[in-house]
Structure 1
Amino acid sequence: MTDPAGPRATPTPPTSTAVARRAGVSRATVSYVLNGQAAGRVGERTQARVRAAAEELGYVPHAAARSLRAGRGSIVLLAAPADTAVAFGPLFARFLAGFQTALHHLGYTGVLHGAPAASPTAAARAWAELRPAAVLTLHGPPLDAPAVELLHRSGTAAVLTHGPSAPPGAHTLLLDQREAGLRAGEHLLARGRRRIGVVRPAEPGLAAFAESRLAGVRAAAATHPDAEVHPLDLALTEESAARLAAAWQERGLDAVFAYNDEYAMLLMRALQDAGHTIGTGAGGRIAVVGADDLLLARLLRPRLTSVRAEITPPERVAAWVAALIRDPAAAPTTHRLGTFHVEARDSG
């Protein structure tokens, strides 16, 4: 349905010139006040008059223009999947929320950027258009040296890429998914399990995490000559879990690390429906371990054993990023975002 009054014109946003005219000051004074640079330059009463004029007019500083003038802005760009909770789990999603809040208190704006790119250089070019003060890559192919150099040339002060190592000019953020698998494998092996299945989710975007966790279980099993590790492909559907449970007997597996608690709960229910017993108690034939330590998983019977990530407080990470922005020449460093340990319960 068309508007009888015809197409509406896009409103023109108020400018700093309009604010200066309303407050009776120069544009430079408006810039000082609204960009937080008024201390020692503009009196308190004048500052109040400028802020009042800006509020009356609905004026908001143009971040892109400010970034171009300064060479970079106040954006801390977080390159992460659009569905962060699925890829990283709810604990890490909460960390990101706290991290963005901490950045705000430090004068920065955390922006999630989930656009795919054909190469690290293409990704860096897309990010550089926003003139970020820092870029943190939390997912996808690691950046290479040309991509880091491109970001630095565009004005980005700090580039942080996920581990285990970073290219020249970048810092390393490390949340080692391999460690999650290693802890799960060690736990199961210590309880006498030797034929261990490891779930690989069929959902897109999780392959890199799943393969790292599988590698961790295999590393744990390498210390036991009689241990076997079997990858298990599973979609997050009842049908997929039922098919896997139906073939369990012929596989002869006595344990499974199910990638995370959601897949673990789904598979555990399917195994029970197929007549298998779960747990470490009397009659428990199959041990099941998840990850993320969700509250819901603790309410199951048997209660789910889970690998829990102990994440560094987001305020500490935000302070570290802010320090790197202030000191672009800082030597490359590695910052561990957290470690993993097993919360042992009844399922395995």
Structure 2
Amino acid sequence: MVQIPERRIPEQSARRDAERVRPVPTSADVARLAGVSRATVSYVLNNTTAVRISAPTRRRVQEAADALGYVPHAAARSLRAGHSRMVLMPAPSVPVGALYSHFFNELQWALRRLDYTVVQFGSLGMSGDDAARAWAELRPVAVLAPGDGTLTPRGVDVLKRSGARAVLTIGPERVDGAHALLMDQRAVGHCAGVHLLDRGRTGIGVVVPGEPGFETFSAPRLAGIRAAAEGTAARVVPLELRYEERSADRLAARWPELGLDAVFAYNDEYAMLLLRALQDAGVDVPGAVAVMGAGDLLLGRLLRPRLSSVRLDLPSGQVLAELVDRAVRDPAGTPEVHPLLGAEAVPRDST
């Protein structure tokens, strides 16, 4: 008979096993520890204002929840309320820049103050109805989708049938059935074009980012400049540029043969990249070529020459969060259109 030696479990493994089987704390556990009812726990942890609960009781419940590591179950709360408090925001498929990042951060903070939970959904590689179905699986109360063609009217219907009380798009296009928060990028290009034409420039290059996904912003900005130049002797030339030094150097080396005396470089980041490449190639800015960006970033003001830009005027996150909240409260309301984006030229030394 072969005797199998007893296997000893290391103390660390035993501790890990114990942690794995540790029961999930419940509201009943919190109620017992705090010496209150489960209803009181629910009122306190869900920030219910309809019932008055004393400050000491609130503190006792919160301390008990912290000690046990308990947090309310969002799905259970959704079942009781009949809908969730989740606002789903699909993550942008392209870098949105510092200005838009600040705007979306402010929006998320304002929604949180209105007791919504904001969830960013990575939709890279998804489009159309596939994206809408993936979003609907999470049963959000509202969806803030990019107005870039990703969402279709059928997708809006899928979301609403799955319980979304409000569907809103943010971008240059509206979608039937959804509220539209319109950012008309043509206004940005038109503003830049008018400024450069007023400076007497007659050959305007317009940077079109070479990276995929930027067409939603770059195409209408190009159209805006073309509209500003319509009826004048000026010509408008699209220029592909990737956000890398080698691409900027190649474009700067070709500049003398292009016969252009101005460039609207899509935004401040691309403008700063190209401005430095032009200077390295010996092109005089603004003598031989005026350079203009968009976004009015602080870094552009630190360059020499200081960068002219288009300042983008966006509403506060609080204003937009209140629009979302109104749409959630009135799910049967007629979809509305809200213009969001204003544009103003900020002349500096580079033009």
Displacement of 1:102: 1.2
8 A Cα contact 1:193 1:254, kept in partner: yes
**Alignment-derived partner of residue 47 in structure 2:** 36
Write the distance in 2 (CA, Å) between the matches of 1:164 and 1:245: 31
Measure the CA separation in 1 of the matches of 2:168 and 2:266. Answer: 26
Paired residues for 1:25-104 under 5 Å: 25-37=36-48, 39-40=50-51, 47-81=58-92, 86-87=95-96, 89-104=97-112
CA contact (8 A) 2:147 2:173 kept: no
TM-score of the two chains, using structure 2 as the length reference: 0.88
Partner SS, residue 325 of structure 2: helix
Q: 1:45 to 1:250 in 2, by over 3 A?
A: closer
**Residues 182-204 of structure 1, C-alpha deviation per residue, up to 9 Å, x if partnerless?**
11111112222121111111233
In structure 2, the gaps of 5 or more residues are 1-8
Unmatched segments (≥5 aa) in structure 1: none
CA 1:304–1:165: 2 relative to 1, 3 Å: closer
SS at match of 1:204: coil
State, as a whole percentage, how many aligned pairs show the same letter: 55
Task: Tell me by how many angstroms 1:252 deviates.
Answer: 0.6
Confirm or deny: 8 A CA contact 1:82 1:113 kept in the other structure: no
In structure 1, which of residues 190, 201, 204 is the aligned counterpart of residue 212 of structure 2?
Answer: 204
In structure 2, what is the equivalent of residue 303 of structure 1? 306
- 2:29 is equivalent to residue 18 of structure 1: yes
| Counterpart position of 2:245 | 238
Structure 1, 202-211 or 230-239: larger mean CA deviation: 202-211
Is 1:192 equivalent to 2:200 in the alignment? yes
Q: 1:175 aligns with which of 170, 173, 183?
A: 183
Distance change in 2, residues 1:260/1:166 (3 Å)? closer
Shift of 1:25: 4.5
Give aligned pairs, total: 338
Which one of the candidate residues 125, 130, 134 is aligned to 2:142?
134
State the partner residue of 1:337: 340
Over the aligned positions, Cα root-mean-square deviation in angstroms equals: 2.3
Tell me what 2:274 maps to: 267
Report what 1:125 is aligned to: 133
* Match for residue 231 of structure 2 among 218, 223, 226: 223
Q: Which residue matches 2:163?
A: 155
Q: 1:95 to 1:126 in 2, by over 3 A?
A: same
Q: Give yes or no for the alignment of 1:289 onto 2:296.
A: no
Structure 1 residue corresponding to 2:316, chosen from 313, 329, 338: 313
Instruction: Output the amino acid matched with 2:294.
Output: A
**What amino acid is the match of 2:137?**
E
Q: Deviations over 1:257-280 (max 9, x none)?
A: 00111111111111122221112x
Q: Take 2:34 and 2:281, find their aligned partners in 1: how far apart are those partners? A: 75
Q: Which stretch has the larger CA shift, 45-54 or 186-195?
A: 45-54
Question: Mean Cα displacement is larger for which, 289-298 or 140-149?
Answer: 140-149
Aligned partners of 2:127 and 2:150 also within 8 Å: no
Change (3 A) 1:178 1:51: same
AA aligned to 2:293 is: G
SS in 2 for 1:247: helix
Q: Deviations over 1:33-71 (max 9, x none)?
A: 322336337676655543343232121011133224434
User: C-alpha displacement at 1:231, in angstroms?
Assistant: 1.1
With over 3 angstroms needed to count, the CA separation of the structure-2 counterparts of 1:198 and 1:12, relative to structure 1, is farther
Task: Name the CA distance, whole Å, in 2 between partners of 1:207 and 1:19.
Answer: 53
Q: Is the 8 A contact 2:141 2:163 kept in 1?
A: yes
Corresponding position: 1:105 with 2:113: yes
How far off its partner does 1:286 sit?
0.6
Post-superposition offset of 1:26: 4.5
Query: Quick one: structure 1 residues 42 and 305, their matched pair in 2 at CA, closer, same or farther if it must change by over 3 Å?
Result: closer
Report the CA distance between 1:162 and its aligned residue: 2.9
Amino acid aligned to 1:262: E
Q: What's the CA shift for 1:19?
A: 2.0
